[in-house]
Amino acid sequence: MVETGAEPETAEPEHETAEPAHETTPAPAGRWFDAPVLSGDHVRLEPMSHSHAEGLAAAADDQVFEHLRITRVPRTREEGEAFVRAVLAQRDKRVLLPWTQLDAVTGEVAGTTSYYEIELGVPTSFYATVQLACNVRVVDDPDEKAAVLNRQLGHFEPGSGRAPVPTEADRRLLSGLRALELTVTGVRAKFKYAGNKQDAHRREIAAGLAARGGPSDNRARAHLLRGLEKSAEP
């Protein structure tokens, strides 16, 4: 049980510090679907193309394709070509970004891998935090504890028709409760809403929030736009 006391002196909210000079900006939307050749010691990934159809059919077995939602594993060149056409059609719709896996030494086709559910953006989070500095008084008196409980139950269960908490019959129960009275002496707040980004970048974020329309997106967008208005003030 916690009781708050007098009104505090409110501290100025903290703002974000300037972003590091080395931080990069998101790539243009078109670059998200670039598919470069990726090479390692054992495997080379090449953007899937029709030239891989025969190799995919030759490499095909149930384990190679078990992670894909296909009804028929391609066993022949024709089936391999049909498989590649279907995958590239999904690529053209920007559903996925497919590569063919090849042995880095022999160049033999070993299978396929893809990026799925590509979202054009850099994940981040907006938040507001508040910290309270308080003086604490431990409440031991049963009458005070009962009063605290009655206030809290009245707040959280309005109109419930409950009986008030008595102090006589429940004194043993009240002794098992610890009540604290907090007198707030200061408030420290921090808001992270892309305040360290360039104005053009923040406008892009605001447009993206409006387009997505997810839970709390409208409130985050409104706060972001208020920050833009303040930054434009002379």
Instruction: Write out the chain's pLDDT in tens, 234 residues.
Output: 655 554 545 444 454 444 433 444 555 656 778 889 999 999 999 999 999 998 988 887 656 555 565 556 677 888 889 989 999 998 988 888 999 999 999 999 988 888 887 766 666 778 889 999 999 999 988 888 888 888 888 888 887 777 777 766 566 777 788 889 999 999 999 888 887 788 888 888 889 889 888 888 888 899 888 888 887 776
Q: Is the same domain home to 216 and 184?
A: no
In sequence order, the 6+-apart residues with CB closer than 8 A to the CB of 109 are 52, 55, 56, 58, 59, 100, 101, 102
Q: Is the same domain home to 93 and 160?
A: no
Q: Is the same domain home to 90 and 14?
A: no
CB 17 within 8 A of CB 196: yes
- Examine residue 127 and state whether it is found in any structural domain, yes or no: no
- Helix, strand counts (H, E) of the chain: 6, 8
H-run or E-run covering 175: helix 171-175
Task: Tell me the CATH number at 94.
Answer: 3.40.630.30
List phi, psi (to 5°) of 88: -65, -30
Q: Is the same domain home to 87 and 44?
A: yes
In sequence order, the 6+-apart residues with CB closer than 8 A to the CB of 153 are 160, 162, 165
| Residues across the chain | 234
Domain around 212: 193-232
Q: Is the same domain home to 100 and 157?
A: no
Residue 114 DSSP SS3:
strand
Q: What is the number of domains present in the chain? A: 3
Residue 59: closest CA among 100, 114, 12, 3: 100
Q: Is the same domain home to 149 and 93?
A: no
CB 115 within 8 A of CB 99: no
